[in-house]
Amino acid sequence: MFPVESILAKPLFTREDIIYLLNTTEKERLLLFEKAKETKAAFVGKKVYFRGLIEYSNYCKKNCYYCGIRAGNSRYARYRMTDGEVLDAVNYAYQNDYASIVIQSGEQTNQPFVRKIESLLNRIDRQTSGKIHVTLSLGEQSGETYRRWFEAGAQRYLLRIEVSNPTLYPKLHPDNQTHSYKNRLEALKTLRTVGYQVGTGVMIGLPFQSVSDLADDLIFFRDFDIDMAGMGPYIAHADTPLYQYRDELLPLKSRFDLSLKMVAILRIMMKNINIAATTAMQTIDPQGREKALMVGANVIMPNLTPVKYRQDYLLYENKPCLDEEAEECKSCLEARIHIAGDVIGYGEWGDSKHFTDRKA
Ligand code: 5AD
Ligand code: SF4
Ligand code: FES
């Protein structure tokens, strides 16, 4: 009997258990993956849900040290999609039975932006007779803004904590009011209070980050009782301050391996949440997203952003799908999901079961 087997049999992992699991190799690692796969099959099933991703705008008021579209980077042309482009992308999702979209953008909090999102939400609702569910990923906003958008029809919100360790946070962000860990945490709590299905997540393999930090991230998700998670490896970007540490990072392969284990452990810890197979995983391993599906992920985000903008939404380097139109990503992902042994939940919202159970 391997030590990992007695850990996997526990109803609740301790911090030490999680650290052990994150460090597993060979046969023990496979046992972890096997358990995650069984958990997924038993609690969320084989269905993978599509979330059509609309990268609405790369304007951002923030300066996160890891991100390619940070305000301080003048390399990219800044863009904002037109209403027509957004509604076309939504229509594509609707026609293709995606049932759900994500609107993501750099962080903007000015009133014209807030109103624009509100009006787009209303138009999306009308155009699709309420059949498309919308997830927002638009950063930290006031409680009032979160409420307005919720009332205009958004059901879910993604706001990654990025790192749950409050002392690590200021090493990865400028240490000021605009980038405060406390505000981030408050924003997550507000989202929950307003009524959203709340998703968060972290980057894996950041400079200064340890395996025990990652264990704490998973415990943070459990304590916060999140509904959805999106995690992926950190990938250096040449136009960012953290690039100077690129030689001190874990090798790409280890970052990928840790990311897979994070997905697997989280699936076992939080059996019925939604977990994304993130694009960043595919950046390191061509089969990255399939592998994530095989160890517990159940959500995938096909890109619907017009191709002409994709070069300007590079949060990290080597992002895949820069030239692929929506149709190509769709058939590519269908094949990948099939290879992973799953089926696509076309026409289904795929709400987080964790959220619906909690509500009930
Ligand atoms: N590598 C990986 N992920 C990144 N993100 C931003 N920059 C990077 C990077 N260099 C992630 C952040 C953010 C999400 C939209 O993209 O976690 O929340
Ligand atoms: Fe802006 Fe988000 Fe990038 Fe930070 S991670 S710079 S908030 S787009
Ligand atoms: Fe875009 Fe494969 S997912 S080309």
Pocket test for ligand 3, best of 324, 330, 339 (most atoms within 8 A of CB): 324
Contacts of 98 (CB under 8 A, 6+ apart): 50, 51, 52, 132, 302, 346
DSSP at 296: T
Where exactly does CATH 3.20.20.70 map onto the chain?
42-359
Q: What is the rounded distance in angstroms from the CA atom of residue 230 to the CA atom of residue 228?
A: 7
Residue written as token pair 């042309």: 77
> Does residue 273 carry a pLDDT above 90?
yes
- Please give the residue that has the higher pLDDT: either 262 or 360: 262
- Percent of the residues in the chain that have a pLDDT greater than 70, as a whole number: 100
> Does residue 216 carry a pLDDT above 90?
yes
Which atom of ligand 3 lies nearest, measured to the CA of 289? Answer: 3
**What is the model's pLDDT at position 355?**
96
> Does residue 278 carry a pLDDT above 90?
yes
Whether 295 lines ligand 2, by a CB cut-off of 6 Å, is no
Residue 25's pLDDT band (cuts 50, 70, 90): very high
Specify whether the CB–CB gap between 53 and 315 falls below 8 A: no
The two structure tokens encoding residue 267: 């699936």
**Nearest ligand for residue 249 CA:** 1
> What is the CATH number assigned to the segment(s) 42-359?
3.20.20.70
Q: What is the rounded distance in angstroms from the CA atom of residue 238 to the CA atom of residue 230?
A: 23
**What is the model's pLDDT at position 62?**
98
**Nearest ligand for residue 318 CA:** 1
Which atom of ligand 1 lies nearest, measured to the CA of 201? Answer: 17
Pocket test for ligand 2, best of 61, 66, 70, 169 (most atoms within 8 A of CB): 70
**What is the model's pLDDT at position 1?**
86
Q: What is the rounded distance in angstroms from the CA atom of residue 178 to the CA atom of residue 359?
A: 33
Specify whether the CB–CB gap between 317 and 296 falls below 8 A: no
Which residues form ligand 3's pocket by a CB distance below 6 Å?
Answer: 303, 321, 324, 328-329, 332-333
Residue 326's pLDDT band (cuts 50, 70, 90): very high
Q: What is the rounded distance in angstroms from the CA atom of residue 40 to the CA atom of residue 70?
A: 36
Average pLDDT, the chain: 97
**What is the model's pLDDT at position 165?**
98
pLDDT digits (tens, 9 = 90+) for 227-244: 999 999 999 999 999 999
3 state SS of 327: helix
pLDDT (average), residues 27-45:
98
